[in-house]
């Protein structure tokens, strides 16, 4: 979780025992656990990266993948 | 062409000295150092915190450097950018460009700063007397980057082709 998403979630990184098959399923899982985070992840301009490359919202994911959620970038 | 993204403070003078060393064919070197201000729009800022995504942020800045080298006749460029908590008066960003002739070095440094201010993968939080707030680029920053609009899509880390999520 980058930027304000980290503050909403209350954590930056965590490891899941079982990987959902898609990014959408991961979003749903996170939203069920924490509705406020789910809402933030669905917010305007939030993008996702898998293994440090931006991907589509419906991308497939698997064991060992690193998924990042990125709010709109603010620049340096 | 070098990118460094780091939490440690840096010495802009030392960076410029290192970058300049041994450049027998450079007619000019331009550098820019960006500092954290004590106030933004009149409001006091106690601390600035930049979040970065190591391993993602550097390649995005590297793409901006590659574009600067493609666009301007410069010999080399350097970007050093801090993240983490930054105190007022501390340097946040250092950009340098070396060229045979000065104009290209000025332009490449200007171009890099305009893109860094709007497109670099950082997330900025200011903490002041009225609490914390996550901030986005200013309208004027977007106006600045539009000066280079002909190529902006190629180095926009935030908008990869056909991979936007619904918004």
Best mean pLDDT range from A40-44, B103-107, B124-128, B155-159: B103-107
**How confident is the model over B35-56, as pLDDT tens digits?**
998 877 677 777 899 999 999 9
Rounded Cα distance between B160 and B138, Å, is 22
Question: Domains of chain B, with CATH numbers?
Answer: 2-139 (3.90.1170.40)
Query: How many other β-carbons are positioned within 10 Å of the β-carbon of residue A36?
Result: 11
Residue A74 is nearest to which of B56, B122, B165, comparing CB atoms? B122
Band (pLDDT 50/70/90 cuts) for residue B150 is low
Instruction: Tell me if A76 and B50 make a contact (CB, 8 A cut-off).
Output: yes
Residue A75 is nearest to which of B117, B162, B164, comparing CB atoms? B117
Compute CA B99 distance to the chain's CA centroid, rounded to the nearest angstrom. 19
pLDDT of residue B163 exceeding 50, the answer is no
Cβ-based contacts of A72 with chain B (< 8 Å): 136, 158
Question: Domains of chain A, with CATH numbers?
Answer: 4-70 (3.10.20.30)
pTM of the model: 0.85
Nearest chain B Cα distance for residue A30, angstroms: 17
């Amino acid at each position: 979780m980058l930027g304000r998403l980290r503050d909403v979630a209350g954590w930056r990184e965590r490891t899941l025992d079982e990987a959902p098959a898609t990014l959408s399923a991961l979003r749903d899982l996170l939203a069920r656990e924490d509705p406020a985070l789910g809402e933030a992840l669905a917010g305007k301009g939030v993008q996702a990266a898998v293994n440090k490359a931006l991907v589509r919202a419906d991308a497939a994911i698997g064991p060992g993948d690193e998924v990042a959620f990125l709010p709109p970038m603010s620049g340096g | 062409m070098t990118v460094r993204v780091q939490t440690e403070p840096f010495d802009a003078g030392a960076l410029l000295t290192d970058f300049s060393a041994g450049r027998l064919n450079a007619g000019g070197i331009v550098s820019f150092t960006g500092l954290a201000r004590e106030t933004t729009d009149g409001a006091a800022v106690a601390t600035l915190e930049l979040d970065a995504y190591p391993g993602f942020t550097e390649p995005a800045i590297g793409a901006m450097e590659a574009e600067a080298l493609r666009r301007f006749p410069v010999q080399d460029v350097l970007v050093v950018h801090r993240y983490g908590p930054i105190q007022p008066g501390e340097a946040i960003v250092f950009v340098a460009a070396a060229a045979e002739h000065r104009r290209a070095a000025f332009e490449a440094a200007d171009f890099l700063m305009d893109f860094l201010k709007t497109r670099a993968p950082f997330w900025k939080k200011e903490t002041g007397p009225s609490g914390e707030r996550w901030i986005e680029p200013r309208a004027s920053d977007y106006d600045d980057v539009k000066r280079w609009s002909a190529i902006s899509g190629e180095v926009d880390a935030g908008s990869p082709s056909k991979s936007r999520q619904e918004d």
